[in-house]
Amino acid sequence: MLADTTKAYEDTEKQMNVDIEFFGQTKDACLDKHKEWTVRSDMREAELKGIDKALEILTSDEARALFAKSIAPGVGFLQIASTPSLLQESSQAPAAKAYNAVKALSKKSHSVRLAALAVHIRTSKAGHFDAVIADIDKMLKTLEEEGADDLAKKEQCQDENQEITKTVNDLDWKVKNNVAKITKLEGLIELRTKEKEDTIQKIKETKQYIADITAERKAENEAYLQAKKDDEDAIALLEKAKAAMAKYYEEQGISLLSKEPEFTRSKDDAPDATLSGKDNNKNASKTILSLFAYIIEDLTDELSNAKKDEAQSQADFEEEKATADKLVDDLTSKKVTLTGIIAKRNEDKKEENTDMKENNIDRDDELKYQAKIKPDCDWILKAFDGRADARAAEAGGLTTAKEFLAGRTALLQSKGKFDDAKFSSLGFLGISN
């Protein structure tokens, strides 16, 4: 973007410098035109005066008469049924305690496994508690495994939810950046498009300016050619008039050249004032012929000056047109640069929209997966503590039952007669009875 902006800045600065030069040349051309107009105006005024004077002369009665002669006409509780009371002999007391403990716990926790174990304890015969104890050990291991599974499930849900939240937040950030970049690209596209439109308009205006000055130059040249023709025609006419006027005197042998006065007596005496007959108007004719020569010379000078002015005007026009043509070339180059920048920005915008679309699809997929695991995760997260407490209670009850049964086995293995009186003081695995 910086490179494009720098290029556009350089183009604009280059264009500004050309505009400054173009303005300066246009100003100089205008000043020259004004000066030329002033000179030509003055000359034309003088010319008109001379023409008026010539007309005055040429339309006199005498000239008419002379011309007449000489000129031819442009996104179960398992309900355990009540059972008869266990025999309360000393050999059955630990089993009854274990049974009651497990039964009570199964009712409290509504555990099918504890209810089944209670039945197993109730139906087991003395001396066969090893199998029950083995079942208790299995159940304790199962509870431990279930606890580990619940913990793993809870941690998995927490990890997945955390990862999904992190991913969604990251995708939200990316989409936000996509939107911001698209907005910025749209702004740049709008800016460059406006700049391109302005450049196209300026190219149009400059070409029109070239057409205008070309047409103006053509008109000036045509006017120059016409004025040249008019002056040349006037000179020719005056030359004819001059020749016609001088012809009479030539035919009469009258010299219009200046002569010194002749003195009959002495050169110090006053000249003779007597006028002759046929050369009576020769002094006036001499003045007229001199006026013809002056006008002809003035028209000849005007033709020479007009030719120089025309050459200068053509040179100024060519320089001004060359500057304008260079401006059109620079503007056209700028237009091509802007067209490339706009195309690149549109491609960037298209790629950004595609990236945003993919980010939104990924975000939707994450949210759909989160919605899919939500029921199981919500259940495990909500039930985890209760299930852990229930398993702890089951494990505690099973451990107590195991201790009762372990104590019964120990009693059966002891020698001698069992003393009921001492039963209450015996301890099993730290439990007083």
| Structural domains counted in the chain | 1
Say if 47 falls within a structural domain: yes
Angle between helices 129-251 and 282-413 (to 10 degrees): 180
Residue 224: burial class (beta carbons within 10 Å; 0-12, 13-18, 19+):
middle
Give the tokens for residue 52.
């008026």
The predicted-structure confidence for 349-377, as pLDDT tens digits, reads as follows: 999 999 999 999 999 999 999 999 999 99
Say if 111 falls within a structural domain: no
Q: How far apart are the first and last CA of the chain?
A: 88
What range does the domain containing 160 cover?
Answer: 1-73+156-254+282-411
- For 415: left if phi > 0, alpha if psi spans -120 to 50, otherwise beta; the answer is beta
Strand partners, 431: 428
pLDDT at 342 over 50: yes
pLDDT at 285 over 80: no
Rounded Cα distance between 153 and 158, Å, is: 8
Mean pLDDT of 163-167: 93
What is the DSSP annotation of 278-317?
A: TTTTHHHHHHHHHHHHHHHHHHHHHHHHHHHHHHHHHHHH
Say if 273 falls within a structural domain: no
Say if 107 falls within a structural domain: no
Rounded Cα distance between 343 and 332, Å, is: 17
- pLDDT at residue 8, as a whole number: 78
Amino acid at 278: K
Amino acid at 340: G
Angle between helices 2-58 and 282-413 (to 10 degrees): 170
Amino acid at 366: E
The predicted-structure confidence for 255-279, as pLDDT tens digits, reads as follows: 554 444 454 555 555 555 444 544 4
Rounded Cα distance between 130 and 124, Å, is: 10
Mean pLDDT of 175-200: 94
- pLDDT at residue 390, as a whole number: 81
- pLDDT at residue 55, as a whole number: 59
> With bands split at pLDDT 50, 70 and 90, how would you rate the model's confidence at 47?
low
Residue 276 three-state SS: coil
> With bands split at pLDDT 50, 70 and 90, how would you rate the model's confidence at 128?
low
The predicted-structure confidence for 66-107, as pLDDT tens digits, reads as follows: 656 655 454 333 334 444 444 344 445 666 777 777 777 666
Give the tokens for residue 421.
């009186």
Strand partners, 427: 432
User: What percent of the chain shows pLDDT beyond 70?
Assistant: 67
- pLDDT at residue 176, as a whole number: 95
The predicted-structure confidence for 223-257, as pLDDT tens digits, reads as follows: 999 988 988 888 888 888 888 877 876 776 665 54
Give the tokens for residue 50.
């001379």
CA nearest neighbour of 313 among 12, 39, 23, 6: 39
> With bands split at pLDDT 50, 70 and 90, how would you rate the model's confidence at 321?
very high
Say if 368 falls within a structural domain: yes
Say if 54 falls within a structural domain: yes
Say if 357 falls within a structural domain: yes
Say if 67 falls within a structural domain: yes
- pLDDT at residue 70, as a whole number: 58
Do 154 and 384 touch, CB atoms closer than 8 A? yes
pLDDT at 162 over 80: yes
Mean pLDDT of 297-304: 86
